[in-house]
Amino acid sequence: MKSFPLAIVAAAALAMGGVVAFAQPRDAVSRVQTAAVAEPQSRNAFERLRDYVMDRNGTERAFDNAYWNNHEAGIYVEARTGEPLFASTDKFDSGSGWPSFTRPIDVSSVTRRTDQSIGMERTEVRSAQGNAHLGHVFNDGPADRGGQRYCINSCAIRFIPRDQMAAEGYGEYLPLIDRPAAH
């Protein structure tokens, strides 16, 4: 009978399927980063994660995602529609393990919804064109930059490096990248 409670805990953990995120060391090699460049077997796992996050309002693991520690110049677009969302000049290290931004490129590119899914009230951020879940916005960002922290799932966005922006049709956003980053 003593193993019965343990069996319940184990079954609950399996049923959650990765919903519970565990803290990861900041310098750990990201399995998601590896999956993003790996062959089809890993790509399928990455696509399942993307679908879970974008379609079912999920969250990827902290410090185990492609862009939490990306410091390269460029823009971040919605992963499916290509809608421009965030500029690298508005990105900052929040310590959360997810890419964080002080603002979107255009406020009309995202929509906000009240989210009470985990027993607390948060503000969900969705892409305007694709209506996909991106993450959440909080009021604990840098005060000198507006005070907001857009905490975004890496798998819901795609990074376009500055030197590829014009070739991929995002040349009009180069002035945003070439301006000095506000800190």
Tell which residue, 52, 21, 16, 43, has the closest CA to residue 132: 52
Q: Would you call 155 a catalytic residue per the annotation? A: no
- Distance (Å, whole) CA 7 – CA 13: 10
Q: Catalytic residue among 54, 85, 137, 151, which?
A: 151
- Distance (Å, whole) CA 145 – CA 137: 14
Contact 100, 115 (CB under 8 A): no
- Output the CA–CA distances (angstroms, integers) from residue 159 to 21, 127, 145, 168, in the order listed: 24, 15, 22, 11
Torsions phi, psi for 15 (to 5 deg):
-65, -30
- Output the CA–CA distances (angstroms, integers) from residue 173 to 16, 43, 79, 124, 130, in the order listed: 40, 29, 17, 25, 20
Strand-pair partners of 149: 138
Which residues are tagged catalytic?
A: 151
